[in-house]
Amino acid sequence: MITLGEYIIAKQHDFPEASGELSQLLGAISLAAKVVNREINKAGIADIIGTTGFENIQGEIQQKMDLYANDVFKSALEARGEVCGIASEEEEEFITFDDERSVNNKYIVLMDPLDGSSNIDVNVSVGTIFSIYKRISPIGEPVILEDFLQPGVAQVAAGYIIYGSSTMLVYTTGNGVHGFTCDPSLGVFYLSHENIKIPEDGSIYSINEGNYLSFPEGVKKYLKYCQAIDKESNRPYTSRYIGSLVSDFHRNLLKGGIYIYPSTALSPQGKLRLLYECNPMAFLMEQAGGTASDGFQRIMEIKPSMLHQRTSFFCGSLNMIAEAQEMMNKYST
């Protein structure tokens, strides 16, 4: 059985310029994940579920676990001293680590500390999403906003942790996608899914169909296509939607499928965050042989203009995304 740390060292030729930093970074992330997982497992018997009564910068009511996970990951990353700054979905502005060691580092981390946190109250799987970039500002100086507003193609690593029936950490450094499952008796992540590949075709579509009436016409047409009977293409497809991006993504990654969160009348720019959710998931999906777009263009080529930018998101098996994009282009006005 190979541990996460052992695997990174064994594969350091894939990331030669920063094998030590990457090991430390992922070590900090995995440590924070184990702490967060411990608290999530107490949901229902400890005062960690429910809302804080406050809104985050997104205008969403924060859950208690949102703030807890944000603090844990922020503290773990700062303590290891391998990054010079972070940006979080739960923070209005980016955070600079300005001690002497941190300002001389070349990496930043963007994160969604607890994706799908509202599902904790009903014991549904949730997750953490992270993305790692190399800073563009001079080493030795505090990070600046432009360090965080880089397109997804500049990512050097990305991943997620899913807290479900087992806790898994899945990551990529641009050389495939690899999954590690935590042994709770030892608190160690062991390699369980090496070089994950998504099937080119799938039979699952994941979307909140309750918003159907406000979807773009291209999305409506694609959903009717998914539901139509056609033995040659193995339709109708199966509808599966959890409402937690990490959970829906993880299932489709392993089984093949498409995840769609389009723009709507209430959210004309889309709802998911480009930097904290879509870019890291797009990087993982492309490395697994799938693809991701906003319905028209590649997600990772979008140049961000703001820290909390939103976008529509189409992600999954190659042939399913191609069909969806064809309909988006055909029926767009």
Instruction: List domains and CATH numbers for the chain.
Output: 4-193 (3.30.540.10), 204-331 (3.40.190.80)
What pLDDT does residue 304 have? 97
Mean pLDDT over each residue of the chain, to the nearest integer: 91
The answer to whether the beta carbons of residues 158 and 283 sit under 8 Å apart is yes
pLDDT tens readout for residues 278-320 = 999 999 999 999 999 999 999 999 999 999 999 999 999 999 9
What is the pTM (predicted TM-score) of this model? 0.94
What gap in Å lies between CA 126 and CA 250, rounded to an integer?
11
State phi, psi for 211 to the nearest 5 degrees.
Answer: -95, 15
Helices 279-287 and 245-255 meet at what angle, rounded to 10? Answer: 10
State the average pLDDT over residues 59-69.
79
